[in-house]
With several copies, the nearest count.
Chain A
Amino acid sequence: MELGWSTSDLEFREMIRAEISALVPADIRTRVENIQHLKKEDYQRWQTILAERNWATPAWPPEYGGPGWSPLRRIFFEEACFLAGAPRPIPHINMIGPVLQAFGTEAQKERFLPGIPSLTEWWCQGYSEPSSGSDLASLRTAAVRDGDHYIVNGQKTWTSWAHWADYMFCLVRTSDAGRPQEGITFLLIDMSTPGVTVRPIYSLDGAHDLNDVFLQDVRVPVENVVLRENEGWTVAKYLLNAERTEIAGLGQTKRLLQYAERLAAGQRRDGVTLADHPEFRSRLARIRIDLKAHEWTVMRVMAAGHGDASAPSASVLKICGTDLLERTSDLLMDLGGPAALAYDPAVHLGRANGAAPYGHALNGTAATYLEFRKAGIIGGTTEIQKTLIYKDAAARWGTS
């Protein structure tokens, strides 16, 4: 055990902060700091800038073009991006990328990996279905073999960014034999295939991130299976582990806290700034403290690598992240004061330019509160995560 940081690590930190700070385009930075939703092009522009320096996929191993950073340096990189007002990394980079690297054929790697770092090809995740949410293994979208294709029929839902996506990685049922988990296949679907229909789902805050994806007689070449037919559950479980630091929501939480602190420093109520207001001062302090704890939990997980039973689990990270996102967005709702009563979604969601009636910061308060009610639902509900934590914990602490 050694808790210090080396000089070279600290030098790296200085370097990356300065570099990233110079790289973020001003218009993107403004939108990020105003907590406005970004456009697809914003994400692509930023990832392209990073890709030119080979920093677009910090968690990928060097043989696939990753920069080969230690976990600590990845944290410093993320911190630098955060401080510079860069867009958050698109989660799918660390989902479909590692999956293809671990399970993909050479042909799949050659075909799909190059489009990921700069987001020239956009991916979405087809997991949830109308009847399969927490109980993912009950999914019913069926793929039936027909020569060298599968014919896929079914519906995916709550699919983030399906309307931007070129490809969808998804779980489909290829067999009803055995346990529900045993008949599932991990399949890559070209979203331009006939029979794929995307329908928007508007969220509480008015945003369009989510979609229904209808699949009607969609023909998918068999070479788009990852791993093997009926072994999709193995891939899905691997992916869950690969995304566990994504699921921690550390960057998003930091961004919300930064937003809250800026608002608190700039707005006055009852004769004091909100930062000094008795109602808000200690709530802000506790969120800052819990965020520090969370950041160290993430570091512990990154340092521990796979299979270390004493390290916190992905579920612990998810619970901590959810708790912080819920509390910080809750705080924002309160910080908004009366102005949170008005909300101009067009500006906030990036559908219109210009300023909101009471400014961007106040305009985003209620919207952010509404948006982050999702925190305990997406990526495995809080209830599912707690049950998983208990199972681990009973094995670790429940035996004499």
Chain B
Amino acid sequence: MRFDLDADQRALTATIEKFAHDTYGARSSRTPEDAPADYSVSVWRRMSELGLTGLCVPEECGGLGFSVVEILLVSEILGRALSPEPFATAAIVAAKLLEASAAGPTRDSMLLAISNGEVRLAPAFYESVADYDLQSVDARISDEGGRLYIHGVKELVVDGAGATHFIVTARSEAGEINAYVVPVDVEGVKVSPRLGLDGRWLASAEFNGAAVEGDAPLFESGEALANVEHALDFGNLSLCAEALGLMDRMLHLTAMHLAVREQFGKPIGTFQALQHRFADMVVAMEQSRSVTWMAAAALESGELGAGASDLSAAKSAVCRYGRTVLEGAIQLHGGMGMTADFELAGYVRRLLAIEKTWGDRVYHELRFLEAS
């Protein structure tokens, strides 16, 4: 157990920081309505050149084969830069899920394409918008002489509006839940973009007899759901680490504001009540880091199901501590904190979107209780 970075990790960090600085500079946010489908194919390609899209892809499939520590490092830097690229979806969840899937041409070709930055896969698991139940799946597969077609609707597909493929859960003709890859450009796929809380574009994805890639499910019978949960655990780990980057930037913006803004003839950072609210934010940030690292340690073995309890503890805590940080940041910024045009706004909205992605505090507290 060691918390400081070794030389390789410092080099990776430096590379990603340079990439983020060159790509995003001082990104300022927009009002939600003005936001374009924010992520960019060219940036994604640049990320693939740096190895980021294949960060978790096994080396034999063209990736770097890294694990939790690198997920932490990269995600945090992307968070600090408010990167809108679909890292957690396409580079983590999709890669982890494909890696775990049954050997075959789909697995290997998709993993290679992820590494190369040629595809962006969006996990499409949810049908209800009221809870995060992965088992409430009505989407179904029809088998027409060995050709598989998918029918159903998935909601709140994160990063879905700009995806090239979906990974969709659906029931086989035998009624069993499995996962399938479906390209976005085949007949029978209808993508309706939905504006997300963070200005990124979600999608409703409708499948009306769309052809399944490779005409095969990703998993052996009965193995899909556990693997979906496990891949989402890694996705949530990435989101938690991204949240650390967001919080770090919010602390910076707030501390600067406290130092610069003057009222009653002195910087407002000299007022004890504001100092103490800032201290609460610092504590929340430190606790978020601790619990995220704890989850990473628990997930490190990669064993199916390992770390679920700690990951859920971490995600629920990051949601809760995140509120402390973002609410404190807004309050300490006063009117500026409520302004969509000020940089803070984008961080606030992204942190809330992370909270709502793949299980919120309520969901993960319950999952923690059940898993521990």
Contacts and interface: CB of A to CB of B under 8 A. Distances in A.
A293 interface: yes
A9 B163 CA distance: 45
Contacts, number: 276
Contact of B129 (A288, A362, A383, A389): A362
A187 to B, nearest CB: 22
A210 B337 CA distance: 13
A3 B353 contact: no
Contacts of B334: 133-134, 377, 381
Nearest to B321: A293
B338 A333 contact: no
Contact of B3 (A288, A303, A373): A303
B88 interface: no
A370 to B, nearest CB: 8
A296 B294 contact: yes
A204 B156 contact: no
B3 A340 contact: no
Interface string A331-374: 00110111111111110000000000110001000100110011
Interface string B250-292: 0110111011001111001101111110111011001111110
A40 interface: no
Contact of A293 (B251, B291, B327): B291
A26 interface: no
Nearest to A389: B279
A72 B1 contact: yes
Contacts of A269: 130-131, 362
Nearest to B327: A373
Which of B3, B31, B327, B345 has the largest number of chain A CB atoms within 10 A? B3
Interface string A61-100: 0000000000010000000000000000000000000000
Contacts of B294: 292-293, 296
B297 interface: yes
B275 A390 contact: yes
Contacts of B258: 394, 398
Given A201-B339, A202-B339, A389 B357 contact: no
B130 A268 contact: yes
A330 B259 CA distance: 29
Contacts of B69: 1-3
Q: What does DSSP make chain A's interface, helix, strand, loop or mixed?
A: helix
B290 A293 contact: yes
A205 B352 CA distance: 12
Contact of B283 (A138, A286, A316): A316
Interface string B298-324: 001000000000100100110010010
B287 A290 contact: yes
B130 A337 contact: yes
Interface stretch (B4-12, B45-53, B101-109, B174-182): B4-12
Nearest to A274: B130
Nearest to B158: A341
Nearest to A382: B331
Interface stretch (A190-198, A221-229, A277-285): A277-285
Interface string B319-345: 010010001001100110111110001
Given A134-B263, A296-B293, A304 B3 contact: yes
Which of B1, B68, B331 has the largest number of chain A CB atoms within 10 A? B1
Given A204-B345, A297-B290, A303 B1 contact: yes
Contacts of A270: 131, 366
B90 interface: no
Nearest to B364: A289
A400 interface: yes
B195 interface: yes
Interface in B148-204: 155-156, 158, 192, 194-197, 202, 204
Nearest to A333: B352
Contact of B276 (A203, A292, A346, A387): A387
B287 A320 contact: yes
Given A3-B293, A206-B33, A393-B282, A383 B337 contact: no
A369 B327 CA distance: 10
B317 A289 contact: yes
B195 A344 contact: yes
Contacts of A132: 263
A288 B158 CA distance: 30
Which of A286, A320, A333, A338 has the largest number of chain B CB atoms within 10 A? A338
A294 B279 contact: no
Contacts of B196: 341-343
A320 B2 contact: no
B251 A366 contact: no
A339 B283 contact: no
A253 interface: no
Interface string B118-138: 000000001011111000000
B255 A397 contact: yes
Nearest to B250: A397
B5 to A, nearest CB: 5
A344 B278 CA distance: 32
A157 B279 contact: no
Contact of A3 (B282, B296, B368): B296
A254 B256 CA distance: 37
A334 B5 CA distance: 37
A387 B290 contact: no
Nearest to A323: B283
Contacts of A267: 130
Interface in A257-287: 267-270, 279, 281-282, 285-286
A316 B256 contact: no
A210 B342 CA distance: 14
Nearest to A319: B283
A206 B128 CA distance: 26
A292 B313 contact: yes
20 contacts: A1-B6, A128-B335, A138-B264, A206-B340, A210-B335, A269-B131, A270-B366, A289-B316, A289-B365, A299-B1, A330-B323, A337-B130, A341-B156, A345-B32, A357-B194, A362-B129, A377-B334, A387-B275, A389-B279, A399-B259
Interface of B: 1-6, 9, 31-33, 68-69, 72-73, 126, 128-132, 155-156, 158, 192, 194-197, 202, 204, 248, 251-252, 254-256, 258-259, 262-265, 268-269, 271-276, 278-280, 282-283, 286-291, 293-294, 296-297, 300, 310, 313, 316-317, 320, 323, 327, 330-331, 334-335, 337-341, 345, 348-349, 352-353, 356-357, 360-362, 365-366, 368-369, 372
Given A202-B341, A206-B31, A339-B130, 11 more contacts: A4-B300, A202-B339, A203-B340, A204-B339, A204-B345, A267-B130, A281-B369, A330-B323, A343-B32, A383-B274, A400-B256
Query: Which 5 pairs show the lowest CB-CB distances between chains A and B?
Result: A398-B255, A296-B290, A390-B275, A3-B297, A386-B279
